[in-house]
Structure formats: structure tokens, C-alpha cells
Amino acid sequence: GGTVHQIQSGQVIVDLCSVVKELVENSLDAGATSVDVRFKNQGLDAIEVQDNGDGISPHNYETLALKHHTSKLSTYADLTTLQTFGFRGEALSSLCALSKFSVVTCLAADAPKGTRLDFATSGKLTDTSVVAAQKGTTVSVENLFNNLPVRRRELERNIKREWGKVVGVLGQYACIQTGIKFSVSQQAGKGKKTTLFSTKGNSSTRENIVNVFGAKTLTALIGLDLNLELEATSAPSQRWSTQEDGGKKDIRIVGHISRPASSERQTPDRQMFFVNARPCGLPQVAKAFNEVYKSYSGWGSTQSPFIFANIELDTHLYDVNVSPDKRTILLHDQNRMLETLKEELTALFESQDY
Ligand code: ADP
Ligand code: MG
């Protein structure tokens, strides 16, 4: 039933940002080293994500956009690693119900001949045709929410805020994915296409941050490199680091943070957190960082640091809570982890000369 499908789909794809996230993650899943994201009218007219990943095999065409169809279960042995990829087989199916949706895909062996796939709102494949294409996949989402008038109006009304969120989250993917060339562009009306930012395929997070956030002053803001090692849990039985491996710690936090009390003007809201390179909000972790930073900058200080922190840890040390409208990450034994984080961060700041 179309209506039921549309309403249910509205729970997976809640806004512009979730569309972009799902499509970019699909490109990452496909092993892309280049991801090009193009918007028309800030996504109100069209969102296109082009990658140079593996492409889609013809035997997956029919089922591609059917609910709960995923090609990924067979390719990843460990179910726990699957968690990080979000909703299983629901993104494309939802997008069919919520937009004019089409795909062009091309396997390496077939280039420069690709296949265009068109789908009905039910997710049923309605048409295929041969088109020129390079290896990879381009997914196109036009007129998002056009068949859900209330949601469409809401999107149009909030487009400024939504757009800010979209650009922010794309910037995060672009910064953390050092092996991927990202490019984001936008075209207003019939105007010229403008590139918002682009990164190089083989760069450091530091270079990416400068490319995405532009300002030269940011190089000053990201003064300190983070490379903290923490123990995840107090329960020895759960530790995969044992004495035999020389006390290897099970959590690493890598990234950048501004120097405390640095005289440069700080940019608030430039705090980005990742778990295994997936952007996510971690309010408790953010609070721990800001507390230690403040105690070094003086409590009267209104400055908040630039933070870019990727928490690398084994998937058995956290849960991804996939509720219909958001993904939250729950770190096991979080309080202990936060305590050791504060200690390590304090030690880092102590070791600096001001
Ligand atoms: P999921 O990512 O959970 O598998 P999706 O609805 O996002 O579900 O995608 C459905 C399927 O479509 C994927 O399992 C994958 O096989 C295929 N797919 C989607 N996007 C791409 C892409 N950019 N490149 C290659 N295959 C893709
Ligand atoms: Mg997906």
C-alpha cells in the first residue's frame, strides 16, 4: 500500500540531512574513493550523489529499492560491524516512496556503458536503459517529500536550518575520510554551479579541515594533535587488551584541538566527534573535553575550543541504538572512559608550554 509505505518511509528519512547521510554512507560502503555531492536549490529540487565505488550488479537491480533488501549481509561476516551502517536496506526503499528516485550504475568491467534504473514509489523497478557512465553509482533524489505536502512545507520553511545541517555533516565526512576525494556543490535556480568545498583524495585530517572550513586561521585553531589512548573497561574479562599484548589500550582518540588560552579568536560550534570515522553527537564526551579545556583557559573564559576527535574502538565496546529517527551511540562503561579521557587530556595540556 502506497500510503502506508510513504508514512513508514517518513520515519527512516526524516529530513534532508538523513537523505544525504544515507547516500554518502552507501558510497562509503561501496568502497568509493571519490564522492561528489550536488544540490539543486539546496536539495529542494535535487540531491545527487555520485561515487566511483563498486557499482551495482545486475542481479540486484530488481530488489535494490525493495524494503529490507540489502546486499551487505553476505559481505560482512560480523553482524556487529554492520550496526554502524545504520538502517538495513531501508534508505533506497524509503527514497522511492518520498521522491522522484533514480540510479545510474556501472561495474568496472562495463564502463563506459552504465545502466539507468527507474523505480515506482513502491520500490518496484519500472525501467532500465543503457547510458554513458563511469565505474560507480549516481543516485538522484528529486522533489523530496513532494507527495507528503505537510512535510514538504516544513522542509521549505526550515530550509535554511536544514541546509546548514547538511553542509555541516558533509564537512564532517569530508574531513574524517582522508582516503576519499569529496566535493560538494550547489546550484541555485538556473544559476551557476558553485563548489562549496572539496578535499583531495590522499590527505591528512588537518589538510581536509583547512579545505572544508576554508579560513587560514583554522590552522592556528587546531594547534594540538590528539592521540590519546584509554582503557575501555574495568572488567578484565571484557578486555581484549591483555598483559600479553603489552597492555595495549583499547580506545584511541585521534584528532585535533585548539591550544588552551590561545590568543586566536575561537570559533564556537566547531566541535566534531566521530566513532570509528562515523560522525555522531556525543554530548558527554564533548562536555569532558570542554571542562578540561576551560580549566586550562580560565573558568571566566568564554572561549570554546575547536575539537575534532575520532574515537577508535572495537565495535563490541559500543551499541548503536537505531531508533526510527536517529542513531545514537552508547559507549560501554562510559563514565570510566570519560574519567581517563580527562586525565589524558590534562596530561596533554600539562605537557605544553604556554
Ligand atoms: P543498506 O545500505 O542498509 O544495505 P540501502 O537501502 O541504503 O540499504 O541500499 C540498498 C542496497 O543498494 C545496498 O545494500 C547496496 O547493495 C545498494 N547500493 C545503494 N547505494 C549504493 C552505491 N552507492 N553503490 C553501490 N551499491 C549501492
Ligand atoms: Mg544504506
CA of 90 to the centre of ligand 2 (A): 7
Among 8, 51, 92, 95, name the best residue to mutate to test ligand 1's pocket (greatest count of ligand atoms within 8 A of Cβ).
92
Is 326 among the domain residues?
yes
Q: Mark whether 88 and 236 lie in a shared domain.
A: no
Residues 222 and 104 in one domain: no
Instruction: Classify residue 210: in a domain, yes or no.
Output: no
Taking the centre of ligand 2 as the mean of its atom positions, its distance from the CA of residue 312, in whole angstroms, is: 22
Q: How far is CA 82 from the centre of its chain?
A: 15
Q: What is the CATH number of the domain that holds 72?
A: 3.30.565.10
If one counts the domains in the chain, the total is 2
220, part of any domain: yes
Does residue 236 lie within any of the structural domains? yes
Mean pLDDT, the chain, rounded, equals 84
Question: Mind listing the pLDDT tens digit for each residue in 39-60?
Answer: 999 999 999 999 999 999 999 9
CATH number at 340 reads 3.30.230.10
Q: What are the tens digits of pLDDT across the range 48-101?
A: 999 999 999 999 999 999 877 777 755 544 444 444 444 567 899 999 999 999
- Domain assignment present for residue 246? The answer is yes
**239 & 132 share domain:** no
Q: Separation of 113 CA from ligand 1 center, angstroms?
A: 20
Residue where a domain stops, chosen among 148, 173, 205: 205
CA distance 112 to 99: 28
Output the pTM of the full model. 0.88
Alpha-carbon distance 119 to 129, whole Å?
A: 12
Q: In sequence order, what are the residues at sequence separation of 6 or more whose Cβ sits closer than 8 angstroms to the Cβ of residue 166?
A: 16, 17, 20, 39, 42, 43
Position 51 in a domain: yes
ipTM over 0.90: yes
Range of the structural domain that residue 285 is part of: 215-350
Looking at the fold, whether 110 and 19 belong to one and the same domain comes out as yes
Give domain status of residue 6, yes or no.
Answer: yes
